Structure 1
């Protein structure tokens, strides 16, 4: 590898390292994605809520990383528990819904806080959750409780919220526990949705004091609102739940980590990801430089010998050794004139002044030098015997002519 290639490679490596350092050290943008997981400290995570539950609960909190069907079949039937499901959207399939219903029938409780829910469970409880997209989907709302004694704990949610409420419920079984109120700033024709709507209910189920608690404002339990003086509202909502051991759901979460391979786990961790990239780059550079240093020696291949040159030299030596200068001069003159005919397309039968002028012009030689050569050739052709001096002089004139040929 030459010096310029090495400098270019080092420069590229330095740029890559600087880009990595800039990427690692640059400030991270605030992540506003929905998560609701217990480990996420982003605004819409539930890190604060989960740790507060651990502090106030008498019993250790169980964490479920499975579906409701898989998790609840392992729950002990003689111990009462309450399962918490908090996410922006929750969907239970038929097996999950049947497991939850059976779980509540055995005297346990289920708390669900979500913006939308559908499926078998919704049909069984005869409830529907919706939003008024025309008026107050994301407008400030006052979340309060139906009990006058809990009025001090109501809160106004001004931002980071989606106002969902019950559009239909079973009034014979469902008990309204809380409402949300939004002031409409403009009137819409045929608008039948009132300003105040129910957003928190209790649905008793079975004969063993089990119940479903359905809440439509999961944002209230996020880190953002828990750290912005709205924690009293979240605590009041959860105070309606029985004091049983809590099962925290980590499966039905928008921010649930799905790891199917070790490489995916590495790439999802910022520090491990950059360590992997640096190790990969180092391996590539090692292969490049190591490969260059350990390459086997390339053998030198001798070019093929020009047998024609050797043959010509041998013939020339024979002529010279026998002293036959006339024959050598004759052949040399014939070869020279053949070159002129082939290269300059000139007739060499008449070597007069006209021929000399044309040859000088086409060969880019001086006319005097060209005339000296042609005159000497004519002189040699007129002689019957030649000497070594004649051959040497002819050779000098031809070499001088050829050297200046265009």
Structure 2
């Protein structure tokens, strides 16, 4: 390796080292994506809540990592349990809705906290949710409990909040446990229910529905909102809790090894450095070892030369009939080989198929086929007819 190549490699190596140092030492940007996953420590994850759920659970907290329809088929139903859903939206199909409704009717509790609820189970409870589009995100809202003894745990959410509430409920089966108060466009307070209990079945089953999932995130639990979240969960009966970790916006989905590598900071940089080093190796190593590629002349096509010689021989002897017959035979062979058409009958059906497959117009196809038929059944041929046939065939094949 010469001196210039060594200097270039040293410079590239120094740049890579500086890039790595800059990447490692720069402040990590805060990830504000919705997650609600038990494993995420980002602001909108539920790492803190999940690790504190033992306070509200009778026994070890169970975790569902798959469809709730599949999970509930295998769960022990001899003892009552509480099923907890927390996400920015909760969407359930018909099978999942039926499974959850059956679970609640057996005397179990289903807790759901989300800004949106979709599915048959919500329709069955006769509740409707409305999102307050004028009070999005950082608009302050008071979240209060209806019980006088719990007023000390009311909280004002100033930021990182979306305000939703129940616009209608079934008053015969529903108890309002909490409300949300926001100011409308005229700066007047509006209060709506945002935490309700709906009784189902004859065995004491219930749904606890809440419209502020942000209250359970790491961000608010570390910002003096832990008492509010604990009070909401205090309505859960003292029984074993099932934590849903499948219906989450931040659910980890790894579909390929490369995606897993790129999601991990250390592995990502190791991958980039390896690829860059491999490129450098190929570039510098290739320049030193690659040999001159010899020029290989194109093989001569003796068949073409032979055909030209035979054609000139026929032409010199004035045997136009023989030449025309062979050109017609060659053209029909060309049609059979390229368009897979039967050339025994050159009728209108053949013309239509030929026009479609060759991308020529029906008029041009008909003119050529009619001329072929005319020449095939003619006894004597002239040079002018040979020239005209050649022009028509060339014009036809030029558009294929």
Instruction: Tell me the TM-score normalized by structure 2.
Output: 0.68
Q: CA deviation at 1:46?
A: 0.8
> 5 Å matches for 1:149-298?
149-184=149-184, 186=186, 195-288=190-283, 295=289
Residue correspondence of structure 1 range 385-400 to structure 2 within 5 A: none
Query: What's the CA shift for 1:263?
Result: 1.8
State the distance in 2 between where 1:77 and 1:242 align: 16
Q: CA RMSD in A?
A: 2.4
Structure 1 runs of 4+ aligned residues shifted over 6 Å read 296-299
Q: Does structure 2 retain, via aligned residues, the 8 Å contact 1:86–1:218?
A: yes
* CA distance in structure 2 between the aligned counterparts of 1:296 and 1:43, rounded to whole angstroms: 55
Go from structure 1 to structure 2 and tell me whether the alpha carbon gap of 1:148 and 1:281 turns closer, same or farther (over 3 Å shift). Answer: same
* CA deviations over 1:265-304 (Å, ceiling 9, x no partner): 12111122112222333344444555567x38889xxxxx
1:41, CA displacement in angstroms?
1.2
Aligned to 1:89: 89
Residue 67 of structure 1 corresponds to 67
Aligned residue in 1 for 2:126: 126
Tell me, yes or no, if the aligned pair for 1:131 and 1:137 is still in contact at 8 Å: no
In 2, distance between residues paired with 1:217 and 1:138?
Answer: 13
SS in 2 for 1:32: coil
Write the distance in 1 (CA, Å) between the matches of 2:283 and 2:52: 54
Deviations 1:345-384 (A, max 9, x none): xxxxxxxxxxxxxxxxxxxxxxxxxxxxxxxxxxxxxxxx
Instruction: Please state if 1:17 is matched with 2:17.
Output: yes
Instruction: Count how many residue pairs are aligned between Structure 1 and Structure 2.
Output: 294
Do the aligned residues in 1 keep the contact of 2:137 with 2:160 (CA within 8 Å)?
Answer: no
What's the TM-score, normalizing by structure 1? Answer: 0.67
Instruction: Look up the match of 1:45.
Output: 45
Offset at residue 134 of structure 1 (A):
2.9
In 2, Cα distance between equivalents of 1:252 and 1:98: 16
Over 3 Å counting, the alpha-carbon distance change for 1:129 and 1:296 in structure 2 is: closer
8 Å Cα contact 1:266-1:273 kept in structure 2: yes
- Structure 1 residue aligned with 2:114: 114
More displaced 10-residue stretch of structure 1: 268-277 or 173-182:
268-277
Q: Which has the larger radius of gyration?
A: 1
- Secondary structure, counterpart of 2:183 in structure 1: coil
- Cα deviation for residue 169 of structure 1 reads 1.5
| Structure-2 change in CA distance of 1:296 and 1:241 (3 Å) | closer
Q: Cα deviations across residues 331-353 of structure 1 (Å, max 9, x unaligned)?
A: xxxxxxxxxxxxxxxxxxxxxxx
Structure-2 change in CA distance of 1:8 and 1:29 (3 Å):
same
C-alpha separation in 1, matches of 2:94 and 2:248: 19
Deviation of the 1:129 alpha carbon: 1.1
Q: How does 1:248-397 map to 2 (within 5 A)?
A: 248-288=243-283, 295=289
Distance 2:257 2:28 in 1: 25
Q: Residues of 1 paired with 2:234 and 2:187: CA distance?
A: 37
In structure 1, the gaps of 5 or more residues are 189-193, 300-406
Task: Verify the 8 A CA contact 2:56 2:234 in the aligned structure 1.
Answer: no
Counterpart in the other structure of 2:397: none
- Contact conserved, 2:34 with 2:44, CA < 8 A, in 1? yes
